[in-house]
Amino acid sequence: MSAERWHAAFVALGSNLGDRRASIAAAERALAKDDIRVVRVSPLVETEAVGGPADQPRFLNGVLELETTLPARELLVRLHAIEAGLGRDRSSEVRNGPRTLDLDLLTYDDEEIDERGLTVPHPRMEERVFVLEPFAALAPERRLPRSGVTVRERLDQLRRRVAGPAR
C-alpha cells in the first residue's frame, strides 16, 4: 500500500452576506477533514465588491493555504459543496453579485489545469487586489504562473496602477 501524496493548494475566501466572519470561519472548519489540512489562514481584508451590482455590501476576503490528498477536481467539488452548505445557491445568483460564501481554488501544486469547469491557476487572480493582498500575507515570494512575478510584486504593480502616476 503506497502512501498518499499530499498536494499544496491556496484557496480564496470571500463573503458579503450575513455574518461574513462566521461564514468564513465555518468554511475553514468544514475544510479541515482527514483529506485536507488547513496550514495557514491570512488576515481578512474588507473590500468593495468588484464587477457586480454596485449596491452590494462590502466583502471580507482572505486566502488559506492547505494540503490535500484530493485531486484538484475533487477539491473543487468539495469547495462548492461547502459553499452550498453555507447558503450559496450558484444557480440563482447574479454573476459577481452578493453571496454568503465564495471559495476559489487559486493554485494546486504548480499545476496548470484547463478543463471544463476547472481552471488552475485561477484565471483572474493576478488582476484582483482583494485576492493578492491576503495571498501576499501567506506567500509573498511565490511566483505567479502567468506573469512570472511574485505575489508581492504583482500586488505592488496593481496598487501603482490604481494610484496612477506620481506627481
Phi, psi (deg, nearest 5) at residue 30:
-65, -30
Per the listing, cell 450559496 goes with 88
Residue 78 among the catalytic residues: no
| Cβ neighbours of 41 (radius 10 Å) | 20
Give CA–CA dist 153/149, Å, rounded: 6
Residue 20 among the catalytic residues: no
Residue of 78, 88, 128, 154 marked catalytic:
88
List the end-to-end C-alpha distance of the chain, in Å, as a whole number. Answer: 65
Residue 152 among the catalytic residues: no
What is the 3 state secondary structure string of 7-54? Answer: EEEEEEEEECCCCHHHHHHHHHHHHCECCEEEEEECCCEEECCCCCCC
Residue of 20, 99, 128, 154 marked catalytic:
99
Residue 40 among the catalytic residues: no
Give CA–CA dist 49/136, Å, rounded: 20
Residue of 104, 142, 152, 156 marked catalytic:
104
Cis peptide before 165 (omega within 30 of 0): no
Residue of 20, 78, 102, 154 marked catalytic:
102
Catalytic center residues: 88, 99, 102, 104
